[in-house]
Amino acid sequence: MQIQLRFFAALREQLGVSEETIDVSDDIKTIDDLKNDLCKRNALWSEALSGNQVIRCALNQVMVDASTDLSDGAEVAFFPPVTGG
């Protein structure tokens, strides 16, 4: 399954990446699974995505709960709580 990843704001700076396309294995079903898999990359990713800071996520540009199922070709974004207005 192919996933388009997007990162924004402080998280984008922390990881040093704004977007990338990855292939994920079949046992990764939800955004939470994906997040846990990304945490395995190294300490930086683990700290950024599962440390103390709150991380929100969006599936195909709609904010969702991390328990939401993935689908092939989906765009998944991770970012800190929003601060507009």
Show the tokens assigned to 4: 């388009």
Among residues 5, 6, 34, 76, the one that binds another protein under rule CB under 8 A = 6
Nearer to another protein, 10 or 22 (CB): 10
| Burial class of residue 63 (count of CB atoms within 10 Å of its CB; 0-12, 13-18, 19+) | exposed
**Strand pairing partners for 27?**
none
Show the tokens assigned to 42: 């190294």
Please answer whether residues 24 and 71 qualify as being in contact, where contact means their C-beta atoms are separated by less than 8 angstroms. no
* Window 18-57: residues binding another protein (CB under 8 A): 54
Show the tokens assigned to 80: 């800190």
| Site membership for another protein, residue 74 (CB under 8 A) | no
Nearer to another protein, 12 or 29 (CB): 12
Nearer to another protein, 16 or 84 (CB): 84
Q: Where on the chain is the footprint of another protein (CB under 8 A)? A: 6, 8-10, 13, 54, 58, 61-63, 77, 79-85
